[in-house]
Structures are given as C-alpha cells and as structure tokens.
Amino acid sequence: MNLETRPNHAMDEPATVEAHSRTPSWMRWATVCLIAFVVVIADQWTKMWIRSWLPLGGSRCIFDGILWFTHIQNPGGAFGLFPNAPYAFLAGAIIVLVLFIIWGRQAI
C-alpha cells in the first residue's frame, strides 16, 4: 500500500477539536457553574424536605421492606468522617475545590 491510498485517520481528530474550540470558554464555565448550582440547590432542598417530613430519629418505609428513609444527623463529612475536626474537613474541601478549578481551567 503506498502513501496515497492509505487511509488518513488523523483527519478525523481536528474536526472534533475544532468543534469543541468553537464553544466560547465562558459558555463552558457557565455550564459547569450552572450544574454545580443545581446540585447544591437539590442537596439543600432534599435536606429541608427530610427535616420537615421526618422528625430526627424517625424512619418511614417507602417500599414495603425494601427502602426506608431515616432522619439522622451527621456532624462530620461523608460517612461521618472528621466529626470533631470541622476545620480540617473545611481545609480539605477547599484544597479539593482549588484542584477542581485548576483541572477545569486546563480542561476547558
């Protein structure tokens, strides 16, 4: 097979990169911020809903014997991590946020 008849698969890649680069960077950032905002609002809304629907320590069966909602308090982070070290947890969260921002700027 000579060079003229060999398929050129490299020609497919620039079209994808070109299409991505046509979207303004502010629009990609706005999309990321909008998704983050919606997630935070949904998280806070579900917490308010549970507080108004179930007393602390209360439990309700949603599907007979399969799914229960139980209202508990978690003073720590995910899975109760660092319940007595809120500032260490906050520092870790800030570090992760900064890393996400740096990664996002490189990706967008």
pLDDT at 42 over 90: yes
Closest by CA to 78, choosing from 68, 91, 93, 97, is 93
Task: Give the span between the Cα atoms of 57 and 72, in whole angstroms.
Answer: 6
Dump pLDDT digits (tens) for 60-77.
999 988 999 999 988 877
For residue 82, the number of C-alpha atoms closer than 13 Å in the C-beta half-sphere is 11
Task: Give the span between the Cα atoms of 70 and 47, in whole angstroms.
Answer: 12
- Residue 94 has a pLDDT of 93
